[in-house]
C-alpha cells in the first residue's frame, strides 16, 4: 500500500470511528432521503437492465469503496441476493457488519483487489474512485474482476466543476485530487484494457446534488410534496444535463 493510500486509510478509519448513528441515512425509509440518495443508482440500474435485455437481480454484485455499505444495502433492497461490500477501512466494514446482515464483506484496497479475474458479475463504485491516488488503476481493477458489467458513479468533468468545484479534498492529513470523468476518458481506459472484445459503453451526464436538493425540498416535508419539489428541480435541470456535475458510466461486457 503506498504512503498516500495509507494516509487516506488512516483518515477514513477516523471518519468511520464516529458513532454508527451517523450513517442512519443509509437505512432510513424517509421517502425524500431515499429519493435523493438512490436516484443515481436507480438510473444506473435502469441502464444496465436495458443493456442486459431483462432482469439482472440474479447477478452477483461487488461494491468497491463501499464505506459502511449504503449502496450494498440498496442492491439488497432491490432484489439482489449476492451482494459484497468492500472498503479498505476496517471501521467502515465493522459498521456495515452491524447495519445489514444480508451483506458479505471484504477488506480490499480498490487499487489492488485481492480477487480473481471475472469474479463478480456486476462491479460498482459510487464516489470512491476520486479518493484514490490512482483512479484509473481503480477502474482497471473493476474491469478486471467484472464478469458482465461495471457501474461508475463519480463526478463529471466540465467548466462548472472547473469554475466552482473542489479540486482538493482534505481528510485530516490526507489529501486527494478530485478526479472527474467524461465519456472519452472512460471509453479510452476501457478500450485500452479490453481491446476489441465485444462490449457496450454508456455514459449519462446529469445534475445531482443530494444534500442541496434535500435541503430545499425538505422545507415542503419529506412526503409526496417534498419529492415532487425535488423531482421538479431535477426536471428543470434536465435540459442542461449536458453541463451536469455527475457522471454515470456503464460498461456492459457482451458475451
Ligand atoms: C466518500 S466515501 C464513499 C463511500 C460510499 N461509496 C458512499 O457513497 O456512501 C469514499 C470511500 O472510499 C474508501 N476508500 C478510499 N480509498 C480506498 C482504497 N484505496 N481502497 C478501498 N476503499 C477506499 C473510503 O474508506 C470510503 O469509504
Which atom of ligand 1 lies closest to the CA of 126?
6
pLDDT at residue 173, as a whole number = 83
Report d(CA 244, CA 178) in Å as an integer. 16
Report d(CA 82, CA 119) in Å as an integer. 12
pLDDT at residue 255, as a whole number = 67
Report d(CA 61, CA 79) in Å as an integer. 11
**Residue 130 and residue 168 in contact, taking contact as beta carbons nearer than 8 Å:** no
Q: In angstroms, what is the span from residue 146 Cα to ligand 1's centroid?
A: 19
**Residue 239 and residue 202 in contact, taking contact as beta carbons nearer than 8 Å:** no
pLDDT tens for the chain, 255 residues: list them. 788 899 899 988 988 887 777 889 999 999 999 999 999 999 999 999 999 999 999 999 999 999 999 999 999 999 999 999 999 999 999 999 999 999 999 999 999 999 999 999 999 999 999 999 999 999 999 999 999 999 999 999 998 888 888 999 998 888 999 999 999 999 999 999 999 898 999 999 999 999 999 999 999 999 999 999 999 999 999 999 999 999 999 999 986
With a CB cutoff of 8 Å and minimum separation 6, the contacts of 110 are 64, 65, 86, 88, 125, 128, 129, 132, 138, 141, 142
Strand spans (E) along the chain:
61-64, 83-87, 104-107, 120-126, 146-155, 168-171, 174-177, 200-206, 246-252
Local structure of 165: helix, strand or coil: coil
Q: In angstroms, what is the span from residue 130 Cα to ligand 1's centroid?
A: 9
Residue whose C-alpha is closest to residue 13's, from 120, 95, 129: 95
Q: Which three cell numbers stand for residue 212?
A: 442541496
Q: In angstroms, what is the span from residue 58 Cα to ligand 1's centroid?
A: 25
Q: In angstroms, what is the span from residue 12 Cα to ligand 1's centroid?
A: 8
pLDDT at residue 109, as a whole number = 98
Local structure of 203: helix, strand or coil: strand
**Number of residues assigned to the chain:** 255
Pocket of ligand 1 (CB under 6 A): 5, 8, 12, 65-67, 70-71, 87-89, 92, 109-111, 126-128, 131-132
The protein residue whose alpha carbon is closest to atom 12 in ligand 1 is: 65
Query: In terms of DSSP H, where are the helices of 100-146?
Result: 135-145
User: Could you give all domains of the chain from N- to C-terminal order, each with its CATH number?
Assistant: 3-28+59-208+243-252 (3.40.50.150)
pLDDT at residue 164, as a whole number = 85
pLDDT at residue 17, as a whole number = 87
Amino acid at each position: 500500500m503506498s504512503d498516500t493510500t495509507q494516509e487516506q486509510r488512516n483518515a477514513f478509519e477516523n471518519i468511520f470511528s464516529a458513532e454508527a448513528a451517523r450513517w442512519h441515512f443509509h437505512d432510513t425509509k424517509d421517502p425524500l432521503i431515499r429519493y435523493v440518495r438512490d436516484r443515481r443508482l436507480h438510473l444506473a440500474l435502469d441502464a444496465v437492465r436495458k443493456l442486459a435485455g431483462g432482469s439482472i437481480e440474479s447477478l452477483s454484485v461487488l461494491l468497491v469503496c463501499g464505506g459502511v455499505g449504503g449502496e450494498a444495502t440498496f442492491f439488497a433492497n432491490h432484489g439482489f441476493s449476492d451482494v459484497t461490500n468492500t472498503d479498505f477501512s476496517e471501521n467502515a466494514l465493522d459498521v456495515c457488519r452491524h447495519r445489514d446482515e444480508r451483506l458479505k464483506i471484504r477488506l480490499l484496497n480498490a487499487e489492488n483487489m485481492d480477487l480473481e479475474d471475472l469474479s463478480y458479475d456486476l462491479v460498482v463504485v459510487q464516489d470512491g474512485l476520486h479518493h484514490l491516488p490512482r483512479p484509473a488503476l481503480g477502474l482497471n481493477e473493476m474491469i478486471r474482476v467484472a464478469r458482465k458489467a461495471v457501474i461508475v458513479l463519480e463526478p463529471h468533468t466540465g467548466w462548472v466543476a472547473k469554475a466552482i468545484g473542489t479540486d482538493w479534498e482534505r481528510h485530516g492529513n490526507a489529501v486527494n485530487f478530485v478526479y472527474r470523468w467524461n465519456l472519452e476518458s472512460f471509453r479510452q481506459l476501457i478500450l485500452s484494457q479490453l481491446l476489441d472484445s465485444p462490449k457496450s459503453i454508456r455514459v449519462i451526464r446529469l445534475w445531482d446534488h443530494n444534500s442541496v436538493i434535500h435541503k430545499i425540498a425538505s422545507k415542503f416535508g419529506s412526503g409526496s410534496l417534498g419529492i415532487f419539489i425535488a423531482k421538479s428541480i431535477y426536471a428543470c435541470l434536465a435540459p442542461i444535463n449536458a453541463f451536469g456535475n455527475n457522471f454515470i458510466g456503464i460498461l456492459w461486457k457482451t458475451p
